Amino acid sequence: MNKTYGNNVVFLGTSLPRECGIATFTQDLLDQFSAIPEFNPPRIIAVNDNESYRYNDQVIGQIDQHSLPDYLEAADFLNRSDTTLVVIQHEFGIYGGESGEYLLSFVERLNIPYLVVFHTVLTVPSPKQRHIMQKLAQSSIKVITMAQSTVQDLQAIYGIDKDKIAFVHHGVPRVETKSRRELKAQYGFAERKILSTFGFLSPGKGIEYGIEAMQGVVARHPESLYIIWGKTHPVVKREVGEVYRQKLTALVEQLGLVDNVLFVDRLLTQEEVIQSLVMSDIYMTPYLGKDQAVSGTLAYGIGYGRVVVSTPYRYATEMLAGGRGFLADFRDSASLEKAILLLLGNPALIADMEVRTLELGKTMMWSEIAKRYAALFQESITSAATQSNRSVIK
């Protein structure tokens, strides 16, 4: 890295074009830093799985997930550079070793201050998982979580000091679109009531319960259409192929819903994601994992003021409080159906919920969230410098 004025931040994690939610998250955050004068354009050390990717020039180094020497070489590279702060995007599954333990070797070798963003905070971690998160937090300047409900968990379960923890909402990109009515006409759904789910398809998404719920919904509202946007998760597809999608399409045919359930089997552009939300009357996340602390897709739905019907996983319970949506029971299509019918039969209720949801959603745009990250980065850099000076004096 060249010597420049301002702070030099390097992110460690996945990077586009790898199809990964954290890669998208990182890119969205980096894009906002062009408007923050105290920082030079951030760079990325990209962690690769079993595939190679054609990165742009913001990626200044790569790590083979399963190669321990790569982690050590990356730390040495950063130590020789003018990097001011390292930001570790932590998620189980993207780093090598048992539960991603190779990451500990990286931070032990690193001589630069770092903070860590915990994308997952497990309430019942394995001993190894707990150890890794504790060690990452212990050596960090700050840890960031994207759900208020996990702040207490980081203290009680992982023993992290409250003063070291910062809560920052998951960011949402601002994209200008046409109105709901105009988008429905554009996509050929002018007379339909649109329900939608977007994101990578995998068995934990519980889409089958949403499809089953549509049987009762269609009996009362035959114009309703449930659109499932997105391709199968790359890891799932690599391991078991399209088994889950085939199960879902067979269920649609079995229930006679071919005119009321639509699959869009491809990776959406950011604009298409936002368009799919804006034209939706109801957004659904019927997920099965009750401990899911953060959901980027639900954050997007909140950001654009959608009325949400969801199962009561942790993030949904937190984000849908205050009349911003309905919670249905896990693995219960009848419960989902009841919530959907209540909304479709009461347009005034939908309108009221959209206002409540958008009030929170406006605070979650990346332009605002990036300012919070910039403040935390600057605070971390200043804190690290202060600690270093004290060490020299001693």
For the chain, which domains are there? 9-171+365-393 (3.40.50.2000), 180-364 (3.40.50.2000)
- 386 or 221, which is more confident: 221
Of the candidates 310, 268, 290, 327, which has an alpha carbon nearest to the alpha carbon of residue 21?
Answer: 268
What was the pLDDT predicted at 390? 54
Decide if pLDDT at 385 tops 90: no
Quick check: 392 pLDDT over 90?
no
**Is 8's pLDDT higher than 70?**
yes
Q: What is the pLDDT of residues 244-291, one digit of tens each?
A: 999 999 999 999 999 999 999 998 999 999 999 999 999 999 999 998
Tell me the per-residue pLDDT of 69-92, one tens digit each, with 9 for 90 and over: 999 999 999 999 999 999 999 999
In this predicted structure, which of 36-50, 181-195, 375-389 has the lowest mean pLDDT? Answer: 375-389
How does the average pLDDT of the chain come out, rounded?
Answer: 95
Categorize the per-residue pLDDT at 388 as very low, low, confident or very high, splitting at 50, 70 and 90: low
Specify the pLDDT at position 327. Answer: 98
Whether residue 52 has pLDDT greater than 50 = yes
Q: What's the pLDDT score for residue 5?
A: 62
Asked if 212 and 332 count as a contact pair (C-beta separation under 8 A), the reply is no
The residues that bridge with 20 in the sheet, in sequence order, are: none
Q: How confident is the model at residue 3 (pLDDT cuts 50, 70, 90)?
A: very low
Distances (CA, A) of 195 to 21, 102, 141: 22, 42, 43
| Residue 2 clears pLDDT 60, i.e. is over it | no
Side-by-side strand order, sheet with 193-198: 261-264, 224-229, 193-198, 282-285, 308-310, 325-327
What's the CA gap between 364 and 80, in Å, rounded?
36
pLDDT tens digit string along 10-23?
Answer: 999 999 999 999 99
Per-residue pLDDT, averaged over 189-218, amounts to: 97
Average pLDDT over residues 200-216: 97
Q: What is the pLDDT of residue 386?
A: 79
pLDDT score, position 394? 42
Is residue 393 scored above 80 in pLDDT?
no
CA angle 95, 97, 101 (to 5 degrees): 75
Average pLDDT estimate for 130-136: 98
Q: For residues 319 and 309, is the Cβ–Cβ distance under 8 A?
A: no
Q: How many CA atoms lie within 13 A of 130 on its CB side?
A: 12
Cβ–Cβ < 8 Å for 14, 46: yes
Residue range 60-65: mean pLDDT, rounded:
98
- Burial-class residue 390 by CB neighbours within 10 Å (0-12, 13-18, 19+): exposed
Q: How confident is the model at residue 34 (pLDDT cuts 50, 70, 90)?
A: confident
Asked if residues 285 and 311 have their Cβ atoms less than 8 Å apart, the reply is yes
- What confidence tier does 4 reach under pLDDT thresholds 50, 70, 90? low
